């Protein structure tokens, strides 16, 4: 079984290698791909030295699975070329997420819809993943009606340049590589480009991707995305309204029993999810679970997850694992 990582030297690509090591994904050959400037360099992984290859060289090797984390433009250009060779492409960019014939997958929720003909599979946006992980089991019990979400997203959601800007500013060096304003000691209500309706790209992803993953075409979702000076881990305040009235104790039990969710909800003991706890972990953490006193059928949730792990690398590796377990490769 040949496995390729496209974008292996990037922030998410390196995290994918960590997850591969931890989860012992079965493969016989690992092909690491990066930009032309990195071709020929080496990466040490699992006591081996891997030479970074070009993407065209990787196509010629006909991998069984290729996990892409190299940006939308690369995915649009090359994912179909890998697919033509019979390779399953798991794409971490936004290139294919809203295409009607492309599956958008969070394995704990909808892996079973994948079939052997799905040569390109989309990995959702990091914030979308952690939100639907918490909402899906509750939807099955109470039937979700509307979601209002505000996110507090770490700078690593903008890749290396976001982290560089934050760290540079903390050293007193001006740097606007990632954001139009200072991010250190600040919050920016700005995630992606602003659209005609006043929403940003990141906010619209939370709307459209959530509807697609949960298969609720008319679900009401409204979002405000805020970038905060946090190194790793996205947080979100979610107000979820249901058709049926939820019981808070039952909600805690439902979430505790769902794979991939960890409930930390003892606020009187100062125990609640935080990015510091979530960083480098695969779980989605949920706390501050409480009734909405203004709406009988609504609850409030505080959801935190590592955006580079479950929000990107881990979810992609889980999809690859599903393909292998299902004997599609």
Give CA–CA dist 210/110, Å, rounded: 12
Other beta carbons less than 10 A from residue 57's beta carbon: 12
Distances (CA, A) of 159 to 52, 211, 226, 244: 20, 26, 16, 40
Residue 240 main-chain phi, psi, to 5 deg:
-115, 125
126 is known as an active-site residue: yes
Point out the catalytic residue in the list 21, 87, 126, 190.
126
Q: Where are the strands (E) in the chain, listed by range?
A: 2-6, 29-33, 42-45, 48-51, 65-68, 88-91, 103-104, 120-122, 144-153, 220-227, 234-242, 261-263, 284-291, 298-305
From 17, 95, 29, select the one nearest 63 (Cα to Cα). 29
Q: Are 122 and 97 contacting, i.e. CB atoms less than 8 angstroms apart?
A: yes
Residue with tokens 């695969």: 282
Q: What helix, strand, coil percent values describe the chain, rounded to 5?
A: 35, 25, 40
Point out the catalytic residue in the list 190, 234, 268, 295.
234
Give CA–CA dist 158/202, Å, rounded: 11
Contacts of 4 (CB under 8 A, 6+ apart): 30, 31, 32, 33, 58, 61, 63, 65, 66, 67, 82, 87
181 is known as an active-site residue: no
Q: Are 184 and 167 contacting, i.e. CB atoms less than 8 angstroms apart?
A: no
| Tokens, residue 295 | 């709406």
H/E element, 321: helix 314-325
Residues carrying an active site annotation: 126, 234
């Amino acid at each position: 079984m040949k496995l390729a990582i496209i974008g292996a030297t990037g922030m998410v690509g390196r995290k994918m290698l960590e997850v591969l090591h931890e989860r012992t994904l079965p493969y016989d050959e690992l092909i690491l791909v990066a930009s032309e400037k990195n071709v020929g360099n080496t990466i040490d992984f699992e006591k081996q030295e891997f030479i970074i290859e070009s993407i065209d060289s990787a196509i010629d090797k006909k991998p069984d699975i290729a996990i892409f984390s190299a940006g939308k433009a690369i995915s649009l250009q090359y994912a179909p070329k890998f697919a033509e060779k019979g390779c399953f492409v798991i794409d971490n960019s936004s290139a294919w997420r809203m295409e009607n014939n492309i599956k958008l997958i969070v394995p704990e929720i909808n892996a079973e819809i994948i079939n052997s003909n799905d040569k390109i599979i989309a990995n959702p946006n990091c914030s979308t993943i952690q939100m639907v992980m918490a909402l899906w089991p509750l939807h099955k019990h109470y039937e979700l009606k509307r979601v209002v979400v505000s996110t507090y997203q770490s700078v690593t959601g903008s890749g290396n340049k976001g982290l560089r800007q934050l760290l540079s500013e903390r050293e007193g060096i001006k740097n606007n590589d990632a954001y139009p304003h200072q991010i250190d000691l600040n919050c920016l209500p700005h995630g992606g480009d602003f659209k005609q309706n006043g929403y940003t790209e990141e906010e619209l992803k939370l709307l459209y991707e959530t509807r697609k993953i949960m298969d609720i075409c008319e679900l009401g979702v409204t979002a405000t995305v805020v970038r905060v000076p946090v190194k790793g881990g996205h947080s979100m305040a979610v107000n979820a309204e249901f058709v049926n009235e939820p019981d808070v104790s039952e909600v805690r039990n439902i979430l505790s029993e769902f794979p991939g969710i960890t409930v930390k909800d003892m606020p009187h003991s100062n125990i609640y999810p935080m990015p510091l706890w979530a960083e480098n972990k695969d779980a989605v953490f949920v706390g501050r679970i409480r009734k909405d006193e203004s709406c009988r059928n609504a609850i409030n949730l505080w959801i935190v997850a590592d955006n580079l792990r479950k929000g990107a690398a881990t979810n992609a590796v889980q999809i690859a694992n599903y393909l292998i377990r299902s004997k599609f490769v």
